[in-house]
């Protein structure tokens, strides 16, 4: 079983990593190609391209300028410890022991606009480049064209190495569009997380993002390798709902009135 996650927009680069173990991204040469394209853009152009504030654009232009094809503990941090959004608060990798981190390294992959596919312990230099960004290159008009079949091939390599029964899609729609499901060597299962609000169940973005991280943490804690075991996921009150689920979409619900 292989789990895919989205990255986070916010990063924690200040907190020291909780492990010395690390690996290198597989597609550094592709990342370097994107960095060269990004370096040609002014802060104003980056702001417009990514629809971000001027200060944030300036920060990322500085990041592109200092990016290096040589990754070290001084200029990079393990991806699963660097990302700091709702998903990663649910995953809480900083509290994992060595065996748990080893599990994530084998069973979790993080999709990335700049790096393509990251293992959790891959060193990552700070960046902002969402997969949906319309950054033109010689390969096409956006990042989906740039990465082409590379992301799918990388996932297949791991699925085949593990003889995986399924790919568990805990990524957002924006990021999973970089994957070609019909070319994967295992079926895709997409968990959906719903909360009770105003008299009905619905997907609430903040809680759904956190729940994706919680499910990845549950799989790590239980060292799950068979997809069916995920149906027992019960962190923070969620439970599998058989009646509303299908073979490929598994619905988890929580009847706690949320604000």
Res 259: pLDDT: 62
What are the tens digits of pLDDT across the range 49-88?
999 999 999 999 999 999 999 999 999 999 999 999 999 9
Res 72: pLDDT: 94
Res 256: pLDDT: 78
Strand pairing category for 123-124 and 116-118:
unpaired
Res 257: pLDDT: 65
Res 258: pLDDT: 61
In terms of Cα–Cα distance, which of 44, 221, 41, 245 is closest to 137? 41
Size of the chain, expressed as the number of residues it contains: 259
Res 148: pLDDT: 96
The count of domains in the chain is: 1
Residue 67 has φ and ψ, to the nearest 5°, of -60, 140
Res 252: pLDDT: 98
Domain that holds residue 185: 2-254
- Cα–Cα distance between 3 and 118 in angstroms, integer? 12
Rounded average pLDDT per 10-residue block, the chain, 259 residues: 97 96 98 98 97 96 97 96 97 98 98 98 97 96 98 97 94 98 97 94 97 98 97 98 98 83
In a domain, 102, yes or no: yes
Q: How far is CA 238 from CA 23, 49, 95, 216, in A?
A: 34, 38, 22, 14
Arithmetic mean of pLDDT over the chain: 96
In a domain, 24, yes or no: yes
In a domain, 222, yes or no: yes
In a domain, 259, yes or no: no
What are the tens digits of pLDDT across the range 95-105?
999 999 999 99
In a domain, 27, yes or no: yes
- Cα–Cα distance between 4 and 190 in angstroms, integer? 10
Q: How far is CA 103 from CA 97, 143, 168, in A?
A: 10, 29, 15
- Cα–Cα distance between 83 and 47 in angstroms, integer? 21
């Amino acid at each position: 079983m292989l789990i895919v996650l989205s990255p986070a927009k916010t990063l924690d680069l200040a907190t020291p990593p909780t492990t010395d173990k690390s690996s290198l991204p597989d597609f550094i040469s592709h990342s370097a190609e994107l960095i060269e394209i990004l370096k040609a853009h002014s802060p104003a152009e980056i702001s417009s391209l990514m629809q971000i504030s001027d200060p944030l654009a300036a920060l990322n232009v500085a990041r592109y300028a200092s990016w290096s094809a040589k990754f070290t503990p001084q200029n990079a941090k393990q991806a699963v410890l660097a990302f700091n959004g709702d998903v990663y608060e649910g995953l809480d990798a900083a509290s994992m022991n060595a065996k748990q981190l080893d599990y994530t390294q084998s069973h979790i992959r993080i999709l990335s606009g700049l790096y393509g596919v990251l293992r959790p312990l891959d060193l990552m230099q700070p960046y902002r480049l969402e997969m949906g960004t319309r950054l033109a290159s010689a390969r096409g008009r956006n990042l989906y064209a740039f990465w082409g079949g590379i992301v799918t091939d990388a996932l297949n390599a791991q699925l085949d190495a593990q003889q995986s029964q399924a790919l568990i899609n805990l990524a957002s729609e924006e990021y999973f569009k970089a994957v070609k499901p019909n070319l994967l060597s295992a079926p895709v299962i997409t968990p959906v997380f719903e909360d009770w609000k105003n008299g009905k169940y619905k997907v609430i973005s903040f809680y759904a993002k956190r729940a994706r991280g919680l499910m990845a943490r549950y799989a790590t804690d239980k060292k799950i390798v068979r997809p069916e075991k995920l149906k027992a996921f019960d962190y923070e009150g969620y439970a599998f709902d058989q009646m509303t689920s299908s073979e490929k979409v598994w619905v988890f619900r929580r009847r706690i009135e949320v604000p």
